[in-house]
Amino acid sequence: RMAINTACNELNQPWFESGVSENAVSGHIQFILPGETACFACAPPLVVASNIDEKTLKRDGVCAASLPTTMAVVAGFLVQNTLKYLLNFGDVTAYLGYNALQDFFPTMRLKPNPGCDERNCRERQLEVAKRPKPVVEVVVQKEEEPLHAD
């Protein structure tokens, strides 16, 4: 994922990232817009942030926990969010978590880290900061008159 992140930051290419936790009962999806939302290097998983070789975590004869149901739920969220982005309908979720033990679905928008280790991410952040801020127009709608008098 770090290589994909680097390439997408360099090309200014939006991409989707997802994962299932080691306990197999939670996961997440994330839509990464270079410079606008946190990239994978802005807030990497602990194993990546600690520069731990994932191969050292694996032991012979021991399989990391995995539940097909959790993977299917996360994959379903990822596909649905991708379709919303590609077909331009609904709100594309920047981040959606999934915790099966508590039926908890946190959503948030992760801001990019100004001190991100990824050089292209920092460059994209500067580009986004230079863009003019969008003007938000407030429209006040007049309430309709009742159809009948009571």
Q: Which of 8, 39, 42, 63 is catalytic?
A: 63
End-to-end CA distance of the chain: 64
Name the one residue in this structure whose structure tokens are 């991708």: 82
Instruction: Decide if 143 is inside a domain.
Output: no
pTM for this entry = 0.75
Q: Residue 118 belongs to a domain with what CATH number?
A: 3.40.50.720
- pLDDT for 48: 56
Euclidean distance between CA atoms 109 and 62, whole angstroms = 36
- pLDDT for 46: 55
Euclidean distance between CA atoms 117 and 51, whole angstroms = 13
Instruction: Decide if 135 is inside a domain.
Output: no
Instruction: Decide if 30 is inside a domain.
Output: yes
Q: Which DSSP letter does residue 103 get?
A: T
Asked if 69 and 84 count as a contact pair (C-beta separation under 8 A), the reply is no
- pLDDT for 30: 95
Euclidean distance between CA atoms 21 and 137, whole angstroms = 41
Helix (H, G, I), strand (E, B), or coil: what is residue 7? Answer: helix
Euclidean distance between CA atoms 21 and 57, whole angstroms = 14
- pLDDT for 56: 58
Euclidean distance between CA atoms 105 and 81, whole angstroms = 14
Task: Per residue of the chain (150 residues), give pLDDT as tens.
Answer: 889 999 999 999 999 999 988 788 899 999 999 999 999 999 766 555 556 665 555 555 545 666 788 899 999 999 999 999 999 999 999 999 999 999 999 999 999 999 999 999 999 999 999 999 888 888 888 888 777 776
User: What's the domain range around 124?
Assistant: 2-130
Is 8 assigned a catalytic role? no
- pLDDT for 141: 83
Task: Please tell me the total count of domains within the chain.
Answer: 1
Instruction: Decide if 57 is inside a domain.
Output: yes
Instruction: Decide if 147 is inside a domain.
Output: no
Euclidean distance between CA atoms 79 and 30, whole angstroms = 12
Euclidean distance between CA atoms 93 and 7, whole angstroms = 22
Instruction: Decide if 138 is inside a domain.
Output: no
- pLDDT for 133: 85
